[in-house]
Structures are given as structure tokens and as C-alpha cells.
Structure 1
Amino acid sequence: MQNKREYVNRLVELIEGHKQDTAKAWISRKSVEQILLKYRIDPQAFKSTIAKGIIEDFLAILRREKPLGHCPVMKKFIHWVDENHITSKEIFLLCAGLKQTISTLIYTQNPVSRDTRWMILIFFEIFDRNLSMILEYYEKLLVAKRSSTQSSQEYSSLSTEHLEMVLNQLDLVIFEMKENQLIWANKLFYEMTGTVGEEDFTNVYTDPLSIIEKVDSFQEPFEVKDYQAWIDQIIHEGEGRCDVTLFDYRVHRNVEMKMVVHPIGKEEDQHYLIVMHDLSEENERLASMLELIYTDAITQIPNRRKFNEVIEAYGKRCKEEVQSFFLLIIDIHNLTEINVHFGRDVGDMVLKAFAQSVIRLLEDKHFFARIDGNRFALLGEFESYTQAELLAQKILHELHAVDYSELEYAKGNIAIISCQPNDDVQSLLNRGDSVIREIVEYGGDTIMDDRRLLDEARRIASAVKNFLEHCQLLYDTKQLLEVVAYYFEVPIDSKARILKIEDDRIWVRLRTIALNALHKGCEVYIKTETKPHFKAIVHDMSPEESWVCLGDFEPVFSSPLDRKYIYVQLDPPLSALLRKGKTQVECNIQTLSVDSLSVTLKYMLDFVRDDRVEIETTLHWDDHEENVVLIGRIIKIRRIEERVKVDIVLDTNQHINEVVAPFVMHRQFEIIKELKGAAL
């Protein structure tokens, strides 16, 4: 946990960055609007001349540039409204509005955590202490006004009367004590202790502090009722603060309270002002705010923020207790298209109906949340994949029961992911994404688990281990590694000398033209004598020194290295029409060769793997312009960000030989010419 000063610094940074919004939200609160209206104060004038200044004063207090209670703008405002007979209650409501506004800002701008709760508790403490000093200033102002027109006795009476009025309106327990005797207390003190005044209180309680039943610090002197020693420890070792528990006769139950002790007077005549505020009410308010923050607005089930916290806890338990769990990811089909064609209300209806039907289906031990626009997640401890799949089948059935038109019902994909000891949250979600992509490739609206991926991961780990050992042998014997980079899909070969190997990274030296085809984060391929070949990621590079650092090795049994023909990337992509029977959709051709091409679509529609399709487009190069119709079969479908990518293997026909082949050769020549120019 951070220390108090660090929390205050974070608070300053947060308010500083949202001063305009905070001032605007403050004057928009109903209680503040009513006060401004009552005194005929223009809200915008209040915002620009008063609200912003008060926020600046409070920031200066948080930065320790000014002492508590030093709020010149607020005091100037109090002088003005005093002439209009504003009440202390209204001053309190104005300040409470600012407190609520900043509290909301903290919770909406910060991920909810233990640190966030500490920040808001510290904010409450500083704000309340500052507020009490502002109200004290107002009381002194009232006293000063009365003193000029009334006798000393009348002055004293009015001073006490107004001070009690102010303190009785605060939602705080306040009392003053000396030598374990009650001197004075506000109305809330007597209400909470079940007494009706000072005399009644002293008849029931032997000591003002005997109302406290439990404390969270310095228990030893408290338990033996050495209250003076306990108070001394709180002041000198606890910064005057301690959490306590006492019985509240208003609600007939124990409540937690934050107690602050203020010593008054010299040591030989010292007495104490004690202020308590109810943490249970504060916790309820925080719980209410947390519920809003953790709840999805459309479905009223837990949202992604809550899911992140819960899955972190599941993952921790999985590692510490070797207790496995399953993650089910439910991906609803075509939600964007439903919103476009039927309206957002229909899309929201699908989400709500599905969420509520699943909630009725689940047991308390399951956790269910909406984690993205069209995606839900379920966490549960199942004994086997079979158990998880039985529940997944029921969930898919509930999804199919949601109709959004007379002829159409909701569909979706469900991935079943088993937590492994070396998993973290991201690896679980990544594996879920991979399973969902596989389902989409095979047409979708079904259930698939991650067992094949886990087996593949184990094979990959073994293959990478063997590959790195082979690289070490090449390094020791000064042999070369064959590295292939693809620049706009054109292969650029290079015989690479291994410079060093550290853990799972390899540094190699490449020829200049190959270096110019690379950038950090791009993929390269490494040829081996026998399959699998390997794919790697460029982690670092120095064109000046001709070296590249490669990592994230992955064995590939199918890769661009297997291509029989040259592929070229089209920049910009080429507009085309993709047809299947009577269905026709606009697409963009991204890559092209004489035996295949890749296109991107905005919507998937009803295309599936192995569909026979036609692609119609116009190819331009030099002085040529040729319309072509290519025929082929879909071999792969995957979603990339907001679009769908479709790979198609082409049939050989007259257009391939007479038009596509020369077009690809021309584009290849352009790419190599561009790369050589960059190298020079």
C-alpha cells in the first residue's frame, strides 16, 4: 500500500486534470442549483468566479501550499451570502455537493481497487476537516456581527446557540471531554448512545469513551480501560486517528466509525475534541457506487471490470491451490449487423434476453459477465471438459431461443478454455480468441474446446527447445542460418551469421537489402533442413551494424516458404466483387498470386469454408487494363479487427495465365525496385 502522501498526490493530479468538468458537475447538482436559484446567483458566474476558485483553494491545501481551512474564495463568498442571510445548512450543502462530485470523479476515472478506496477515504478525511474549519469561520463571522450590537451575555448565548446549530446539522458524532468527563456533545452523539442529554448520558456511562466496544489499534490500553494512555497513543503514534466500533441505538446494531482526536489547550489543562464519522454508511455508499461501476448498463450483469478482478482471483487460486477452473467464452454472431438492420433496440433486446436466460440457468458457484460488445464469459470449477460442455450446450440452446425477427434467431460460438498452471489472464483470453477463430472458419454456431491448442502448445514448446539447441550448434560450428523476410509478400532471402544466443533470443547479421525489408515487430521465417520451419519476430535491430534480434520462435508446418508461386501485396488494395450463387458483396483484394488471393470484407454474411466463389475485378499495370473473373474455393476465414479476411485458392483458367501472371510479375518488379532504392 502506498503512503498517505502518495495517495494525496494522485488525488491532486486527478482533480487538476478535471477542474473544468468538476466545476460544471458541481453546479449541476440539484441541491446546489436550488441554493443558487434561491439567492438569484447566476450558475455560470458562480462557476467561473467562485467554483473554480474554491477547487483551486482545495488543491492548494492538498499540495500543502495552504493550511487546512485557508479558503479565501469560499470565505469571500460566505461574506457575500451572509449579507443575504444564507444558512449554515446551505453552506454545508454547497460543500457536500463538491465532496460528492469529486468522489464520483475518483471512482469513474480509476480502476476500482483497494488503492482507490484508500484514496477516497483520505479525501473524505481531509475534506471533512477543511469543511469543519470553514463552518467554524462562518460561526466566527456570525459572532463578530452579533458582538457589535449585543451585550456580552447575549453574545455568549448567541455564539453557543449558533455553534450548536452548525454542529447538530453535521452528519458527524462530535463531543468534547476532559479528564474522562463529558463537557459537551452534539445531537447525533446522544442519539447514537440512546441518551437524551448530558445528565442522562452520565447516568448511563461512566466515561465518554466507554461507548466504544472495539478498536483497531492500540488495543492494550483500551482493553484495560486506560483511556488516557489510549488517547495519548492515538495522538502521538496514530496521527490522531483510529477506527472504532460502537453500538448505534438508532439502528440497534454495531457500526464502524473513523475517530479523530483533536487535543485542545495546554498540557496542564488539556481537553479533547473527538469527531467520528460512520464508516458503515460510507461503505454502503461505496458499495452502491461499486455496484454501478461493476455492472453492465444493458444486461445488468457483471461487466468487464468485474470480470477482470474475478478471473485474477480464480487464476491466483489455480496457482496457489492447484485448483483448476474453466472459462467459457460466448461470442454472439452478427450483433453489429442486427443493430444496423433491425435497430439498436433489437440488438440490446438480444443481449438482455440472453443474459437473463443464462442467469436463470446457472448455479451460485458460477460467475457470468458481459466482457465486450457481443461477448460474454463464464467462470466455473468443473470436474472435466464433459461437464463444461454440457453447460455450454444448455447456454447455446438458450441463445437459439432468442428470436430477433419472425424468421431469425440468435446464434453464437462457445469456446471452452481450461486454466493451466502457467496461464495468466491474457493467455486464457488469447486461447479463447484462437478457439473462436477456429469455430468461425468452420462455419460457426457451435462449441469447441482448447484441447487441440494445448496439445499443439506442448509440441511447439518441444520443437522450439530443439530449434534453439540446433542454433547453438550452428553458432559453435560457425554455420549460417537461412532467414527469409517478406516485403509486400515478396521473399527476400539472406544467409545469416549467428552473433549470440541468450535464453530464447538470437542475434544475427543480415545483408543490407534484407535489413531494409524489416522493422521491429515484423515476422521473418527461418528455413530448416526438414520441417517444421520456424517463424520469428524482430525484437530489435541496428541497420548501421547490420544485426537483428529475433525471438518468439514458432514452428510452422505451413508457411509462405511453401509457396510455389510469388505472392504480391497490393497497395492500395484492389476493389472487387465476391460472389456465391446469388449472393454478391464488395471486397478488397489484399494479396494476389497465380494460385490464390486474400480479400477483406466488412461483413461475413453466409460465406463458409470450402464454398465455391467468383471474384470479379479489374487489373491495371503499365498501359494494360483487364477485367477478370477468377474462380476458386475458400480455404480460410478469420476476423481481423473490424473486418473479415478470406483466403481463396484459385482454379487455373485463361485469365490466370494471360492476365494475373503478368500483373503479379509487374507488381513484384515494382516492390523490388522500391526496396533497392531504400537500401541505396
Structure 2
Amino acid sequence: MSIKKRVTTFLNHHHHTLAQRWILQSHIRTTLSHYRIDTQQFIEEFASPIVQSFADILSGRQSIEDLSIRQKLIHFLFDKMVSIQDIFLLCIALRYTLFQLLEKEKILTSTHKESIKILSKIFDTNLSLLLESFEILSLQQSYQRESNQHSYQIQELQTILDMQKSLIFKVSHHQLSFANQTFYKAVNIKDIEQFHKRYPKVWGFIEKVSHLNRLFQAKEYAQWLQQLLIKHQGRCEATLFDHRQNHTILVQMEIQPLKEQEKESYIITLTDITQRKKELHTLTQIAYSDTLTGAPNRRVFQEKFQAALKSYQHDQKPFFLLIIDIHQLHEINTYLGREVGDAILKSFAELMMKNLSNKYFFARIDGERFALITYQSKLEEAQKSAQEVIKEIHTIFYTHTEHARANIAIIRPLEGDDLQSMMSRADTLIKQMKECRTHDISLFLDDSNLIEEEKLFSEIREKFLNECQHALTHETSLDVMNFYKEVPIQSDGKVIKVIGDTVWIQIRKVALHALNFNPELYIRRDKKPHIKAKVTDVNSDKLMVRIEEIVPLKESPLDRKNIHVRLNPSIETLLHYQNIQIPALLETISIDAASLKTDYIFNLQLSDTTTIHTIFRWDGKEVPLKLSGTVHKIIETNGSFKVVISLLHFKAIEETIAPFIAYRQIEIIRELQNALL
């Protein structure tokens, strides 16, 4: 989570606590008491909402220029006749309290220079606006109260106005009646007379405004002014050419009507917010960009995806989602250093952002994954885009001979789809491509076969549920199997109840106990595919289980020709291939297959010939073994790899492995029986 988000979350959750710490400081309580201000009332009405408003500014829900609580506070302090010095000290105390608390909570430290700078800028801006508004309020009151006094007082007012950084001027009956020196210098005018000659219309020096600009550009100034006051409380942004800086600036305009004795008279302030807007843009870029690559992040991707999906659902505008998975990033980081992996990600993102047209949207959505939304109508076009992406990534070399590679899933939207369902199909396709493990090849697959397969599987699920209903009606049983440490446990499953996609089945007690270690059941059907289901509830008294998430299987443990056993503990092993040896753990074994777990596989591929070197120990025996075979499967899970090896038949299989499996099988069965007793 970014520093900005953490600070925002902290302020949202602890705004009242922070407000109390701020106001209950002894010197602040003394100051408030001096002006007869109730401390608790001030906390509830002003302090707590002010802290909350800072959270809203950081999250972008509110602009710093439009804080209603600041205006409310200004008028309150003004009515209490609080001095501007005490107002300044009150604001500084808030700043000190916030930074002190953020440091104490270890959210912000001296190393977070950019975040401290941004927060300080918000404080400084808010303080400046508060003091400026307070000063303007004072000036307005002074002007109305002292308008009939001597001319030296008017000169004093002019001097004070001239000291302000903001452009301040008065309009009476649609004409400029006075202005401070800051205003004159900005518009490059000496005095009111010269202004009237250059700008017959008082608003002519402003190029455009953010609200009601059509009226403004049509020079319907009177109508524009009245609607601005009614609809936007006299506030808007405006652009004008500042002759002091010799470029166009963005200003925050605030228009304050004067009271009855001066009808059609207004005080206007123009505050330069050009730099603030740039900083806000920078903050927005940080919030919406991936910190490593500079590419749009997952947050932006989700927004763009939802927009594309909405257009597809409402207006039938087609698009494709391409999920790009970089090969072997974990291994590259481990063996060559994270800086090499980071360089691959950055180079790829730079190439994509440089070469993509507006027909695409590109983002980094996870560690080694990127997303590409293509606004194309045909699958062939999306496949061509995938080929172009692969060409780009193949130009990135991280050694003299090795270039980066990737797998790409091409997903089309279907009726009823959402981000989760489309990402699920992408995950399945990427898993399939990873399991192919062919040398030096980047692959891409679209979800056409997956969609057809899901339709077929949906029909098979429906048939299976009908078979369950038939078994319930005719009191026949299902051939149910579950596994305890890879040893099969068969039950004649009696169907008790079928509701929708949920089935209740009665099984053997020993099978029920085995579910504590592996909550999956397999049901053998007369005709393939067989079924796998997840056990979601168990009734031990009635030996009954509830199964859901019913999945037809292309291949399953039910297809095994030989008994497998799980080793406990796993056996340390060395896996040899191509003059490389990899430390691994042997987890399961049969006379025709072995399953190993390893953190790294280098360039191990399907069908590679390998040798397993290990030592089997059981029943007082210790037998060194060397087994040969070919790689049948490689499955990546949670940063490690499961490697399944099809074993070649050697004398060691008969002399050592077969007796060991028989011994281990009996051991597992006894273990299960003892647990039942």
C-alpha cells in the first residue's frame, strides 16, 4: 500500500483522536479559553471535520480550494475576534501533531521525503488560503465600515491588498473600481484608466473559465456572473496570461458579493494554482501507475476493463483481453538477481507503451503479468496482436544468449462474463501453456476450446446429477473413491439427497476419516470422464458428506494402473539432467511414476530424460537408488514446482521400489486404522 493511501486510511480511522490530541494541547486550550471558545465544542464542530477534510483531499474526493469547513472556521474565528497570529499558531499545531503521530505509528519517516513534501505542500496551501480568506474578510468588513473615513485609511487598505500574492480587485456596475498592485502587474496595466481603455469589458483579460464557459465566451458576463453565484457559490477556475511570468496560468477565482449598500459590487480574488494542479497530477500519476515500470497499474486496468465490458454488453462493441505471463521470472530473480528480472519487466513495459496505438490499453496487473485490452472484432486480429507482443519480448536479452519469453492467453467476453470469470479462463490457459514446457518458445492460446470444453463439461455435470437422482430413486450406489496419502479408499456411495448442484452421499467410516487430510472425492462413471467433487460439509454421525464444485476430469487418479504412496517425511533427492543437478524432495512414488517438489527447474522440459539419485530407508534397511525416467508433467504452484517423472523399468523397481510401496501401503492403512480407534 502506498504512503499516500496509508496516511489517508489513518486519517479516516483516527480523525477524532488526532483532533483531540491537537486541541487538547495546553497552549491551544489556553488560547481557546482566552477567546471564550469551548474546547470540546471546537473539537466536534471544527477540529475533527478539518482532519477528515485532509483525508478527503489526499484521496481526491475534495479539492483543497473548495473546503467548506475552512470557510465555516474562518467566519467562526472572525466572529470570535481571534488574532491572525493565534490562527497561524493553531494551524502550525495541527501540522506538528499530525507529523508526530504519523511518525509514532511508523506510517511516515524521514526517509519518505516526497510524501513529506506533498503533505507539507497541502498544509502550506491550506494555511495560505485560510489566512488569505481571513484577511479578505477583514478587508471587506473594514472597507464597508470605514468607507466614509479619511483617504489615508483607503490608502492603508490599498497597501495591505498590494502585499497579497493573490490578484484582488473590485467590480462595481460591471467596471473595475480598484485593484491591488499584484493584479496590475499580472495584466501589465499601470492603473484603472489604462485598464478601461484596454479592456472595455472588465472580464476581458480572462481567457476561459471552468464553469459556464459558453456564456463567458459569448461575453454574456452579467448572466454568467449571476449563474456562477447561484450554481457554484461564485467559485471556478480560470486561465489568464500572467505578464510577470510571461506564460498562461491557472487561477482559482472566488467572487464575493458586497452587501446591500453596494449593489452589483463584488470583491474578486484570483489565486495561482498552476503548481498545485501539477502536483495533483503527479499524485494522480503515482496512484494510477505501477511504481516499477511506469505502466498503468491494476486499478486503472480494472476501470478500463469495466468500461470495455459495459460497451460490449450495452452497445455490442467487441474487445479481447490478452493476459501476458512472463516466463521463469522467479528463477531469473533467484539466479541472476532481482535487478535483472526488474530490467526485463521495465524494458517490456517501455516497448509496449512506446509502440501501442490507441486501439490498445496496456497495464501491469501482477508480479510477472501484464494485461492488454485490444478493441478488435476478430479473433485473427487478436492473435496477430499476440504475435506482435511476442516479437517485442523476444528482443529483450538478459544474457548474451537468453531472451525473455512469455505465454499469452487470449480471452473474449461472453454473456454474463465479469473480470473474475475472464481472468479464470486466462489462468487456465496459462497453466496449460506452462505445462507444455517446450524449449525457447513463447506460446499464445485463445479460449475457443476452453469455451467448448466448458459447454461439454456443463452437459456432463448435468448428466452426472441426473445419474445421482437416478441412484437416489432406484436405491443404487455410486462408485466413490478418495485417497489417504495416495492410497485409494473405495466406498459404495449411497445417494441421500440431490438439490440443484449439491449432492449428499453416505460413505464408509474409514473414507470419511480420510477426508480430514484431503477433502476431495472421485466418482467413477461407467463412461468417462470421471468426476471430482469437493466435500463442503461432513455429518460424522450419519457418515454423510455434502459434495459441490463438481468437475469432469480428462484424467484422474482413478486412471492409475499402479498403487501410489505418499512419503512421510519426503525423501531428499537429487534430480540430474543435462549435466545439471537440482535438489528436490521425493513426495510420492509408484512402480511407474515419481512425484518430486523443487524450487527451481532451470530449463527442464517435458519429455526430458532425467535421473533420480536418492536413498530409501525403511524397516531397518538403507538402499541407495538411481532411477531413470522422462518428465511427464511440470506444475507450478506457489513459487515451487511439482515434477512428475514416468519411470523406466529397471531391476531396482522390482527389488526395492515394489517392496517399499507394499510396506508403505500397509503402514498408511495401519495409521488410518489406528486413527479410527
Q: TM-score, length-normalised on structure 1?
A: 0.69
In the alignment, does 2:1 pair up with 1:12?
A: no
Match of 2:306 among 312, 322, 344: 312
Report the CA distance between 1:587 and its aligned residue.
0.9
Q: Select 1:446's aligned residue among 430, 434, 442.
A: 442
Give, in angstroms, the shift of residue 228 of structure 1.
9.2
Is the 2:483–2:518 contact (alpha carbons within 8 Å) kept by the matching residues of 1? no
Q: Which residue of 2 aligns with 1:169?
A: 165
1:575 to 568, 572, 577: 572
Counterparts of 1:270-281 in structure 2 under 5 Å?
none
Q: Is the CA contact 1:257–1:276 (under 8 Å) kept in the aligned structure 2? A: yes
| Native 8 Å contact 2:502 2:547 kept in 1 | yes
* 8 A Cα contact 2:435 2:634, kept in partner: yes
Q: Note the alpha carbon deviations across 1:83-122, whole angstroms, 9 max, x for none.
A: xxxxx9x979989x98xx99xx99xxxxxxxxxxxxx9xx
CA contact (8 A) 1:216 1:242 kept: no
Give a deviation string over 1:181-219, Cα, whole Å, max 9, x none.
8787666666788866667778857788997967469x9
Q: How many angstroms apart in 2 are the aligned matches of 1:194 and 1:134?
A: 27
> Is 1:292 the counterpart of 2:286 in the alignment?
yes
Please say if residues 521 and 539 of structure 1, whose CA atoms lie closer than 8 Å, have aligned partners that are also in contact.
no
Q: Structure 1's 547 and 135: CA in aligned 2 closer, same or farther, altered over 3 A?
A: farther
AA aligned to 1:551 is: E
What SS does structure 1 have at the residue aligned with 2:403? coil
**Unmatched tracts of structure 1, length 5 or more:** 1-7, 24-53, 83-87, 107-119, 142-151
Alignment match, 2:65: none
CA contact (8 A) 2:205 2:240 kept: no
Q: Does 1:426 align with 2:420?
A: yes
Matches within 5 A, 1:589-600: 589-600=586-597
Relative to structure 1, the CA distance from residue 207 to residue 489 in structure 2 (aligned partners, 3 Å threshold; closer, same or farther) is same
Farther-moved stretch of structure 1 (639-648 vs 288-297) = 288-297
1:393 partnered with 2:387: yes
Q: Is the 8 A contact 1:636 1:647 kept in 2?
A: yes
C-alpha deviation, 1:305, in angstroms: 3.5
Could you say what the CA RMSD is over the residues aligned between the two structures, in angstroms? 5.3
Mapped partners of 2:239, 2:330: distance in 1 = 55
Q: Which of 223, 240, 246 is equivalent to 1:248?
A: 240
Q: Which residue of 1 aligns with 2:38?
A: none
The one-letter code of the counterpart of 2:424 is N
2:50 counterpart residue number: 61
Q: How far has the Cα of 1:602 moved from its partner?
A: 1.6
Task: Check the 8 A contact 1:535/1:554 in 2, yes or no.
Answer: yes
TM-fit CA distance, 1:578: 1.0
In terms of mean alpha carbon deviation, does 517-526 or 598-607 score higher? 517-526
Q: Is the contact made by 1:537 and 1:552 (CA closer than 8 Å) also made in structure 2?
A: yes
State the alpha-carbon separation in 2 of the partners of residues 283 and 433 from structure 1. 40
Q: CA deviation at 1:555?
A: 0.6
**Residue 17 (structure 1) shift:** 12
Task: Give 1:576 deviation, angstroms.
Answer: 0.5
Corresponding residue of 2:56? none
* Displacement after TM superposition at 1:395 (Å): 3.3
Report % sequence identity: 30
TM-score, scaled relative to structure 2: 0.69
Q: 1:639 Cα shift? A: 1.2
**Rounded Cα–Cα distance in structure 1 between residues aligned with 2:414 and 2:263:** 67
Contact 2:535 2:547 in 1 (8 A): yes
Q: Which amino acid aligns with 2:444?
A: M
Task: Specify whether residues 411 and 320 from structure 1 end up closer, same or farther in structure 2 by C-alpha distance, changes over 3 A only.
Answer: same
Amino acid aligned to 2:398: Y
| Structure 2: distance between partners of 1:463 and 1:373 | 36
Give the match's secondary structure for 1:169. Answer: coil
Q: Following TM superposition, by how much is the alpha carbon of 1:493 offset from its aligned partner in structure 2, in angstroms?
A: 3.6
Q: Structure 2 counterpart of 1:250, which letter? A: D
CA shift in 2, pair 1:485/1:340, >3 Å: closer
Tell me, in whole angstroms, the C-alpha distance in 2 between the residues paired with 1:374 and 1:467. 39
State the distance in 1 between where 2:151 and 2:543 align.
92
Alpha-carbon distance in structure 1 between the residues aligned to 2:278 and 2:87:
37
Matches within 5 A, 1:622-661: 622-661=619-658
> Could you say if the C-alpha distance between residues 132 and 638 of structure 1 is closer, same or farther in structure 2, counting changes exceeding 3 Å?
same
> Does the residue aligned with 1:648 lie in a helix, a strand or coil?
strand
Evaluate the alpha carbon distance shift between residue 230 and residue 572 of structure 1 in structure 2; reply closer, same or farther with a 3 A threshold.
same
Note the residue ranges of structure 2 that are not aligned, 5 or more in a row.
Answer: 1-6, 23-42, 54-68, 109-117, 139-148
Q: Residues 277 and 224 (structure 1 numbering): CA distance in 2 closer, same or farther, change over 3 Å?
A: closer
Equivalent-residue separation in structure 1 for 2:94 and 2:195 (angstroms): 30
Kindly provide the amino acid, as one letter, of the partner of residue 326 in structure 1: F
Q: Distance in 2 between matches of 1:583 and 1:164?
A: 80
The 5 A counterparts of 1:150-549 are: 160=157, 164=161, 168-169=164-165, 215=211, 225=222, 230=227, 233-234=230-231, 241=233, 244=236, 246=238, 248-250=240-242, 284-359=278-353, 361-444=355-438, 445-450=441-446, 451-518=448-515, 522-541=519-538, 543=540, 547-549=544-546
CA separation of 1:619/1:190 partners in 2, compared to 1, >3 Å: closer, same or farther? farther
CA contact (8 A) 1:247 1:253 kept: no
Specify whether residues 367 and 213 from structure 1 end up closer, same or farther in structure 2 by C-alpha distance, changes over 3 A only.
closer
Distance 2:541 2:428 in 1: 38
| Counterparts of 1:243 and 1:430, CA distance in 2 | 48
Superposed CA offset, 1:4-56 (max 9, x none): xxxx997832675998xxx9xxxxxxxxxxxxxxxxxxxxxxxxxxxxxx9xx
Q: Report matched runs for 1:98-117 at 5 Å.
A: none
> What residue in structure 1 maps to residue 40 of structure 2?
none
CA apart distance, 1:178: 8.5
Q: Work out the CA distance in 2 between the residues paired with 1:513 and 1:474.
A: 22
Compared CA separation, residues 551 and 177, structure 1 to 2 (3 A):
farther
- What amino acid does structure 2 have at the position aligned with 1:436? I
Offset from partner CA, 1:350-376 (integer Å, 9 cap, x none):
444444444554433222333344333
User: For 1:408, what is the secondary structure of its paired residue?
Assistant: coil
C-alpha distance in structure 2 between counterparts of 1:389 and 1:363, whole Å: 16
1:157/1:182 CA distance change after superposition, 3 Å: closer
Matched to 2:50, the amino acid is I
Give the C-alpha shift of residue 347 in structure 1. Answer: 3.8
**Aligned partners of 2:635 and 2:642 also within 8 Å:** yes
Q: Do 1:191 and 1:249's aligned partners in 2 also have CA atoms closer than 8 Å? A: no
Structure 1 residues 347 and 77, CA gap change in structure 2 (3 angstroms): farther
Q: Is residue 2:613 matched to residue 1:616?
A: yes
Q: Residue 508 of structure 2 contacts residue 543 of structure 2 at CA under 8 Å; is this kept in 1?
A: yes
Verify the 8 A CA contact 1:415 1:449 in the aligned structure 2.
yes
Q: CA deviation at 1:314?
A: 2.4
Report if aligned partners of 1:326, 1:381 keep a CA contact under 8 Å in 2.
yes
AA aligned opposite 1:620? R
Offset of residue 531 of structure 1 = 1.6
Tell me how far apart the structure 1 counterparts of residues 251 and 660 of structure 2 sit (CA, whole Å). Answer: 79
Match of 2:33 in 1: none
